[in-house]
A and B are shown apart, each in its own frame.
Chain A
Amino acid sequence: MDISIQNLNKIYKNKHQALKNVSLDINSGMFGLLGPNGAGKSTLMKILVTLLEPSSGTIKVNGADLEKNRKQVRAMMGYLPQDFRFFAKLKTYEFLDYAASLAGINSRKERRDEVERLLEDVGLFEVRNRFAGKLSGGMKRRLGIAQAIVGDPKIVIVDEPTTGLDPEERIRFRNILADLSQKDVIIILSTHIVGDISSTCNQMALLNEGQIQFTGSPDEFIRLSEGKVWKTQVAFDDMEDIKQKYPVITTIPGANGYEVELISPSANGFQGENIMPNLEHAYVYFMEYESNKFNRP
């Protein structure tokens, strides 16, 4: 499975350009789309799931043009939108049954088995007769992913799936996705939470201000910030000054000041120890020092 996006643009009626010449190649596995709020992630997701039409550019799914083959692409698609709620009048089981029916599972028995399996998988079997609207936030999100993956879709697109979830739910959610990524499917995970990507994705892209500013693996992304992440001690009085100068990642107060992790191309004006960056460091580094290069005329 592969998705190829070429020169994708989206300009809304209010002239706002949400996507600018986006080009991406996505292969099987878990693909993380990282970007701050308003970067255009949801627009890209909506275009991918055929909810929106691009202003220009092409998307090919397994070589087939998405615009001309919506029917086929939709048949292999599962989607969990951002901030998703449910038909208040349907029970958990029924909602999933509805999704399974629409996903093309025609046999009633097959559908029942699939729905029950998924409910088990996402840990909702016990509450299958509860109205979907009455589920907790985490449960709703799990039901959301269940409906997205029902019927073995080849492409699963999840938009900001972990926002608002507690850590336990978030881990549980990531695991569900990780399990799924073992199959020959593309999972596109759009998020502004770096941890979602670091723990699950083998490919990623960074979308900022409608532009793809990075594509590659999370490791490659991390490597961009190697040697730029510092651990240092900052006196209480100097803290404000440091904050003004550098993006500070962590601040741990101590007896004589703070132990601080910050991002800087060099240890200029402070004494610190270089540490191994993680995805979060890389993301901050990229946003602070690299992304502005894309805005140059």
Chain B
Amino acid sequence: MSSNKPIFIVAKFEVKTLLRSWFFRIFSAIVIAFLLFFNIVASTEIGRFNFADRMMPGGLVYMNLWILNIVQSIIAVFLSSDFLSRDKKLDTTEVIYVRSMSNFEYVFGKTLGIFYVFGGLNLLVLLFTFIINIISTDAGFSAITYLIYPLIVSLPTLMFVLGLSFFVMQLVKNQAITFILVLGYIATNLFYLKGNHYGSWDFIGFFSPMAYSDYVGLGNLFQIASVRIGYFILGISLMFFTVFKLSRLSQTKRGKSVALIPSFLFLFLGLSLIGNYLQHQFRLEKQIESFAQLEKQLPIDAGYKIVHYNIELQHRQKTIAGATEICVVKDESLESIKELKFYFNNGLIVSSVKTNGESLEYNQNLNFLTVFYNYNNKDTLKLNIEYTGKPNDDLAYFDLDKEKREGLHRYDPLLAGKSSLFVSNQYLLLTSENFWYPVVADRNAHRITRFFTSDIKIKGITGIKYLSQGEESYDGDWTVFKGDAKYSKLSLIGSEFTGKSIEVDSVKYSYLVKQDNDFFTKYFENLGDTLPNLISEIKGDFERKLGVPYPYKRLTFVEVPLHFYSYYRSWALINENTSPEMVLIPEKGLGINEFNLAHSKNRQERDNKREGTEMLPKEMEANLFMNLIGNTFAIPKERRFFFRNEADAGRSVSNWSAYSIFPLFYNYSYSIKEKELPFINMCMESYMQSRIHSSFNRFGSLSGNDKSILFLKSNTESLAHLVDEEDLKISIADIILTVGNGKFASAQQKVGIENFENFVDSLLGKFKGEAINASELTDYIGDDSGENELNKSSVIKLPAFIFGESKIYKFKDNKKESYFISLEVANVGEVDGMIKASLFGGGRRSGPPRPGGGPPGGGGMNASYEDIYLVKKGQHAQIGIILSQAPRMMSVHTYLSENVPSDNRFFLADFEEAPKGLKTFTGIKDLKGDVKYIRDNEIVVDNEDPGFSVVNNKGRKTLKEILLSRMDVEKAEEGFEYKTLFPWHPASRWTKVLESQSFGKYIKSYTYKKSGDGNARAQFKAHLQESGRYNVYARVPSQRTGSFRRERQEGSYEYTVFHDDGEEIVSVAVEKDNSTWELLGEFYFSDGEAVVELSDKSARRVVVADAVKWEKL
């Protein structure tokens, strides 16, 4: 095409004009400067921040264009609406309009000009991305992404935004309105529509998974092809509509009408692409729904099980073909079975089912394979199933919420696809979720571990290495995996892997990664022969803590495509990232903090420098290794995300890692036989989990226990009823565990914590790889605290605890310095209750581990003393504990009771010398008097009391305040009334937060809001019985409340005391490390109403209203 065509001439001069536009220059300069700064700081050694997503193949390209795309959309809106208005305003258009060119040439010339300019901007960004890519440590380089991302990120967005702006401008003929409308649409997309409706609104590509995998390329290719190309085409359609609407006479008489043809054609095409994609998603959703419905009709337990698999599989490019023999055993209690139902992937088309050479009738529907056979003897039934096809993950996680399934897969913040299965000519990944082998179809298939043995043979594509459960050997073209343990699920993975192995203590540890993806061995080059010791210690430590040995002969860490995604189900803390003998790790360890080894190394070096510590390279590497393994696989460590929450484990578990090896040690090897729902399994798992994991909630986020209590307090349904409730506000697993943990605590209290521990150890030792009879456990406990109790149809009643004084005394016990800890507690609830007291005396076990020591702790604390106490209904008691070392803190867990938060902390820093005659004791004994949480001469109004009220704003609201308060209301409607205080985003309205240091009878909470101009107020209104002088106190929070970790905020709160002589404003500095009662002054009050108000005016970030106390003098 000649460059003298008007389209190119228009484009050429449009480029000149745009490049001279200050708007363009300033915005481009800002975005380039920001990106450059971000890249240098986040991804190079200069900044040493080591942004994790740089390790993604083409991650830097994706990230930079992802950010650029939003900014360039906004610039494009302005520029595109600007040129039409500019031309019109200055009357310049006319001299151009009279020139001989078509309207198409004019509009598309303008568009082309804008594309040239933005193309240049994109190229510039790509250029420095390339440089950063080269110099950044461990950055994932993928040449093709430099081509792909401009095409799938920038191009469709620009085309659509330009088309839309042109078109709207032509319609409304007003630049300001166009700007508002199109920017409004962009904002609606970014903040409201987001990735809704399967990302079909997302013309910016901000919520579309576009991460690139070295294994399988782009993730959701169908979505990208449909939606991105769809918007590109819609953009062209809008351009043609603009040509049609342009207020210039066309070259020919029918020119304008002609433009309508491509407009509608492209409109139809674009909408068809997006529509087809949506239709596909809706169809899938329907399939999932019907599969879920069918699953609900299945029996809880089918009455037969598969005890052995003999699988022969051929990996044929994009399909697989196989012959699987399964050995089925029927329960003795069943006479005969007419049809056997299995889960089996519907992409695998069964060609025959035989037993002893006899062909059987069968039927495949969704992921069900029904075999018609009269199984009426006690023999093991051998079924041979032959099949071929391409398995799919259409029905994966069918039982989970749609919302959860549609959730984005973020590598904080970049987005990857969500697949649980891959079959291509270069790669194979099959996990149990997709039933690539038949599994007995009953409702407990997803809930309870079942054991079997297996032999797997795979014949595949040359150059591909396969991995599955069992000992690997070769038989001609076949790779054989001979199972040598009881397994509960099987995975099969194949790729052009490279890796290394090491055998330590009879376990073969290996890793398998794609050839260019071994970025980590360089960090451990000096480890040499220390490595076996480190591995041995980590394993030893884990086994010691957990009390069970590693059950397999091998453990392989396998790299999987970054699009691989696995969900938890609430019934067990397992997902498809782990299976017997293997842990699947996303490409380059993405999403796992510790795999950002450059960052960890830098941090370690910085810490060493700061502390003046000299470390040998070997020591440093040992540290890195321990952190990597310890914090990721052994004892997960708390981590924070900017764009997403922690992995949703289907229940409230904080600091848990999807890659924890806990399931390999426990879940995949131990199981309790339950005919109904797996309550005891869950409680047992929770008990086992507590041996290695301490939950530690930051910022007062609600624990599963707290959520359950808050829910059960207002609940009138029985537990059995709740299990079947579809729209339960909280995870049923949280409720079950709260109830179950209470029962386990009761058992531990009865037999003693240590005895219980020993019993569990011996039970598990006896039944590895076998289903444990539930009665083994319940008999020992001497209580039917298992399923029967939990299934009772009565509403759960709760104990309620009041805590009195907690004291610590130092005394001499046989000349040895000892400490007596006393805590007053009363149970004023309806039933007996349990509390667990834990004392913490030692240091935290987080941070860098000792070289050669065990894995680092998960950010929690290790109790130096723990005991569980039964506090009977109506009992007022004193708990006594004697320790040889001074503890720093006592935590009292109240299990299932009225008390929230259920973890109460008592700081014990200031101990007193024991008074004469102090009777020390260990255990719990009745108190003579009653436990009081307030004295007789005190009246307290807590933020939970009826006397407490708030006013959010008395004055005029700004738009920002209105919007913020709307957001707060929306958030409040989403869940519990108690929220989390995030210092970076405090609520702009009074909001309740649970906090154990706050004042409260059963519910310890405070009400806070972001500090303001004094227009918002919290009021404490008491009813005083008698007139007189009173000391008035306010409960003032610790200075840490609402602060960042290392921040120390100055500031005070302003209380107004309304008393008989008027009102007095008292300012109280917030400076203590704990929440305390602060005296506001002595005042005279007549009987009746007394009021203290707290203003929201403060130099601090937030204002906290907790309680006010009137003490009669």
Residues of B near A81 (CB, < 8 A) are: 91, 94-95
The segment from B12-20, B31-39, B220-228, B854-862 found at the interface with A is B12-20
* A230→B10 CA distance, assembly (Å): 57
Residues of B within 8 A of A147 (CB): 95
Chain B residues near A90 (CB, 8 Å)?
13, 16-17
Q: Is B251 within 8 A of A74, CB to CB?
A: yes
| Interface-facing stretch out of B97-105, B175-183, B927-935 | B97-105
Among A67, A71, A79, A104, point to the contact of B94 (Cβ < 8 A): A79
Number of B residues whose C-beta is below 8 Å from A?
Answer: 29
Give the complex CA separation of A77 and B100 in angstroms. 9
Distance (Å) between the CB of B558 and the closest chain A CB?
58
How many residues does chain A have at the interface if contact means C-beta atoms less than 8 Å apart?
36
Complex alpha-carbon distance, A77 and B96, angstroms:
11
User: Are A85 and B90 in touch, CB under 8 angstroms?
Assistant: yes
Q: Is B250 an interface residue (CB 8 A)?
A: yes
Cβ-defined partner of B91 (8 Å) among A49, A71, A84:
A84
In the complex, per-residue mask of A32-70: 1 if CB is within 8 Å of any chain B CB, else 0: 000000000000001001111100000000000001101
Asked if B97 and A51 sit within 8 Å, CB to CB, the answer is: yes
The answer to whether A102 touches B16, judged by C-beta atoms less than 8 angstroms apart, is no
Whether B95 lies near A148 (C-beta < 8 A) is yes
Q: Mark A84-109, 1 if CB is under 8 A from B, else 0.
A: 11111110001000110111101000
Measured between beta carbons, the chain A residues less than 8 angstroms from B251 are 70-71, 74
Q: Chain B: which residue is nearest A148 at the CB level?
A: B95
> Counting chain A CB atoms within 10 Å of each CB, which of B91, B99, B248, B252 scores highest?
B99
Among candidates B91, B96, B98, residue contacting A83 with C-beta atoms closer than 8 Å: B91
Task: Tell me which of A50, A67, A88, A144 contacts B98 (CB under 8 A).
Answer: A50
Contact A99:B95 (CB < 8 A) given known A68-B253, A74-B251? yes
Q: Which residues of A contact B20 (CB under 8 A)?
A: 89
> Judging by beta carbons under 8 Å apart, are B9 and A102 in contact?
yes
A83 to B20, CA, bound (A): 24
CB neighbours (8 Å) of A77 from chain B are 98, 100
Asked if A102 contacts B99 (CB within 8 A), the reply is yes
Q: Mark B542-579, 1 if CB is under 8 A from A, else 0.
A: 00000000000000000000000000000000000000
| Cβ-defined contact, A79 with B95, below 8 A | yes
Contact B13–A94 (Cβ < 8 Å): yes
A207-256 residues with Cβ-Cβ distance < 8 A to B are none
Asked whether B6 is an interface residue with its Cβ less than 8 Å from the other chain, the reply is yes
Chain B residues in 8 Å Cβ range of A51: 94, 97-98, 248-249
B21 within 8 A of A: yes
Q: Is the CB of A86 within 8 A of B98?
A: no
Contact with A along B178-214 (1 / 0, CB 8 A): 0000000000000000000000000000000000000
**What 0/1 pattern do residues 899 to 939 of B give for CB contact below 8 A with A?**
00000000000000000000000000000000000000000
Indicate whether B788 reaches chain A with its CB closer than 8 angstroms.
no
Judge if A3 is at the interface, Cβ distance under 8 Å.
Answer: no
Q: How far is the CB of B10 from chain A (nearest CB, A)?
A: 8
Please tell me if B92 contacts chain A, counting CB pairs below 8 Å. Answer: yes
Residue A282 is within 8 A (CB to CB) of chain B in the complex: no
Give, as a whole number of angstroms, the nearest-CB distance from A44 to chain B.
14
B4 adjacent to chain A (CB < 8 Å): yes
Min CB distance A151 to B, Å, is: 9
Tell whether, in the assembled complex, residue B4 and residue A89 are in contact, meaning their CB atoms are under 8 Å apart: no
Whether A98 contacts B9 in the complex (CB less than 8 A), given A50-B249, A89-B20, A89-B21, comes out as yes
Q: Give Cα distance in the complex from A67 to B16, angstroms.
A: 33
B252 A71 Cβ-Cβ under 8 A: yes
Q: Kindly identify, within residues 130 to 177 of chain B, every residue whose CB is under 8 Å from any CB belonging to chain A.
A: none
- Cα separation A67 to B252 with both chains bound (whole Å): 8
- Cβ 8 A contact of B16, one of A53, A79, A89, A103: A89
With a 10 A CB-CB cut-off, give which of A72, A79, A83 has the most chain B CB atoms: A79
> Are B100 and A86 in contact, CB atoms less than 8 angstroms apart?
no
Nearest Cβ in chain A — how far from B355, in angstroms?
A: 81
How many angstroms from the CA of A72 to the CA of B91 in the assembled complex? 23
Which residues of A are found within 8 Å of B95, using beta-carbon distances? 79-81, 84, 99, 144, 147-148
Most chain B CB within a 10 A radius of its CB, from A79, A85, A102: A102
A102 touching B252, Cβ below 8 Å: no
B100 lies within 8 A of A53 (CB): no
Assembly CA distance A50 to B95 (angstroms): 11
Say yes or no: A85-B91 contact (C-beta < 8 A), given A90-B13, A98-B13, A106-B4.
yes
**Cα separation A147 to B90 with both chains bound (whole Å):** 16
Interface string of B246-266 (1 = CB under 8 A from A): 001111110000000000000
Please, which residues of chain B bring their CB within 8 A of the CB of A53? 249
Report the minimum CB–CB distance from B105 to chain A (whole Å): 10
**Which residues from B are CB-within-8-Å of A50?**
97-98, 249
Q: Which residues from chain A contact B90 at a C-beta distance below 8 Å?
A: 85-88
Q: Is A165 an interface residue (CB 8 A)?
A: no
Among B95, B248, B252, max chain A CB count under 10 A is at B95
Q: Is the CB of A102 within 8 A of B96?
A: yes
Query: How far, in angstroms, from A102 to B250 measured CA to CA in the complex?
Result: 16
Q: How far does the alpha carbon of A74 sit from the alpha carbon of B86 in the complex, in Å?
A: 23
- Contact of B16 with A71 in the complex, beta carbons under 8 Å: no
**Distance in Å from the Cβ of B1077 to the closest Cβ of chain A?**
69
CA distance A296 to B98 in the complex (A): 37
Q: How far is the CB of A97 from chain B (nearest CB, A)?
A: 8
Bound-complex Cα distance A127 to B99 (A): 25
Any chain B CB within 8 A of the CB of A75? Answer: yes
Find the B residue at minimum CB distance from A80.
B95
The answer, among B10, B16, B253, for a CB contact under 8 Å with A94, is B16
Determine the distance from Cα of A109 to Cα of B681 in the docked complex, in whole angstroms: 87
Give complex CA distance A106, B9 in Å: 10
Would you give 14 A-B contacts (Cβ < 8 Å), ordered by A? A51-B94, A52-B249, A68-B252, A70-B251, A74-B100, A81-B95, A85-B90, A87-B92, A94-B16, A99-B99, A101-B4, A101-B12, A102-B99, A144-B95
Query: Given A83-B91, A94-B16, A101-B12, 17 more contacts at CB 8 Å?
Result: A50-B98, A50-B249, A51-B94, A51-B249, A52-B249, A74-B100, A79-B98, A86-B90, A86-B92, A87-B92, A89-B16, A89-B21, A90-B16, A90-B17, A106-B2, A106-B4, A148-B95
- The 9 tightest CB contacts between A and B, nearest first, are A74-B100, A75-B100, A102-B99, A89-B20, A106-B4, A71-B251, A89-B17, A101-B9, A79-B98
